[in-house]
Amino acid sequence: MITLTGLAQSTGIRHAFFTRAGGVSEGIYASLNCGFGSRDDPARVARNRELAAAGLGVAADRLVSCHQVHGTAIVTVERPWRHGQNPRADGMATAVPGIALGILAADCAPVLFADPMGRVVGAAHGGWRGTLAGVMEATVAAMAALGARPSRIRAAIGPCIAQSSYEVGPEFEAAFAAADRASARFFRPAARSGHFLFDLPGYIAQRLTALGLAAVEQAARDTAAEEKMFFSYRRACQRGESDYGRGLAAIALAE
């Protein structure tokens, strides 16, 4: 698993960006596939989540994740829910110790947040649609409602698809340009005429920095290129594979 310095040095905070290693799944899901939304054996996914929770130091039934829909809905978590009761949301915030907020991703950016002094943590699913629509800002707002202060919040952008692997069409670039003229610097021409390479983690970092957070870190890892380390939706599509595993990132307040 991968940790980032700002959160790792935050007193009373536990976090991890898990790689695909160390689980029990097989084939295209090998091995730490934590996504019930995949077509993997649910019993294996459950066991993988147990292993991840243990690595984080929390009970398996205290690890929660949402049915992610690439939107801006945020859930304030007061108690864990069971599998099958997952709310449709792309962000979470909690001030309850011992609850681990989990984000599932396979190229999108998992983003973890912590205000160690205010004792509030958050997590967001950073796909391009949700990020453009404001999921990062909504997550910070939900944390603030629990007593966090943006000036104390540290954010960590986990492994995701890197710019060199993220080719997009002209309509994609046009959507960003229409919403945010400053977004042009996160696009560079691709080898294919009329296409671009998009810097997703850089764009997320810019949105977070504009909120006046205490720190914004990036893992600087490429899920699409690092097959042994990470699951990748884009890589699976390029190979014509029928499905793909989901990696887990999670954060919790220590009890």
CATH of the domain at 130: 3.60.140.10
176 located within any domain:
no
From CA 75, how far away is CA 96, in angstroms rounded? Answer: 13
Name the 3-class secondary structure at 125: strand
pLDDT band at 93 (very low <50, low <70, confident <90, very high): very high
Res 181: pLDDT: 83
One-letter identity of residue 154: R
Taking only the tens place, the pLDDT of each residue in 127-140 is 999 999 999 999 99
226 located within any domain:
yes
191 located within any domain:
no
From CA 50, how far away is CA 45, in angstroms rounded? Answer: 9
**DSSP summary character for residue 102:** E
Q: What is the pTM of this model?
A: 0.97
180 located within any domain:
no
Res 20: pLDDT: 97
140 located within any domain:
yes
Virtual torsion, Cα 81, 83, 89, 93, nearest 10 deg: 40
Element (H, E) at 56: helix 42-56
pLDDT band at 8 (very low <50, low <70, confident <90, very high): confident
From CA 163, how far away is CA 180, in angstroms rounded? Answer: 18
151 located within any domain:
yes
Task: Tell me the two tokens of residue 190.
Answer: 């691709």
Res 138: pLDDT: 98
Whole-number average pLDDT of the chain: 97
Domain that holds residue 228: 5-162+199-253
Is the per-residue pLDDT at 174 higher than 90?
yes
Res 1: pLDDT: 86
169 located within any domain:
no
Provide the number of structural domains found in the chain. Answer: 1
Whether 166 contacts 200, CB under 8 Å: yes
> Taking the CB of residue 193, how many other CB atoms lie within 10 A of it?
7
